Amino acid sequence: CDCHPVGAAGKTCNQTTGQCPCKDGVTGLTCNRCAKGYQQSRSPVAPCIKIPAINPTSLVISTEAPADCDSYCKPAKGNYKINMKKYCKKDY
């Protein structure tokens, strides 16, 4: 069958068609590419993730900055370091 080691959900395929069982968002006879509407990720658990749909009604286009920008844009106090192990889960 030659099912893809990452894209296939199992190693056994349909003996008649040769179709491998694919993970969600994965397509192809051997599960070797992302389906339409999905993009490749770096995760072996979910190799293809759904592309988020952009809702045109949620986009607000403004040509001028709000007058109270300073109340939202204050610099952080002190030094902040991001620990990747703390903020990033494995396989995501």
What are the tens digits of pLDDT across the range 21-33?
999 999 999 999 9
Total residue length of the chain: 92
Show the tokens assigned to 92: 């995501």
Higher-confidence position of 34 and 92: 34
Spell out the SS3 assignment of the chain.
CCCCCCCECCCCCCCCCCCCCECCCEECCCCCEECCCEEECCCCCCCEEECCCCCHHHCCCCCCCCCCHHHHCCCCCCCCCCCHHHHCCCCC
Q: Is the pLDDT of residue 1 over 90?
A: no
pLDDT higher than threshold 90 for residue 18: yes
Where in the chain are the domains?
Answer: 1-51
Percent of the chain with pLDDT over 90: 52
Using the predicted structure, report yes or no on whether residue 67 has a pLDDT greater than 60: no
pLDDT value of residue 66: 55
| CB-based burial label for 84 (10 Å; 0-12, 13-18, 19+) | exposed
1-51: which CATH topology? Answer: Laminin (2.10.25)
pLDDT at 88 (0 to 100): 54
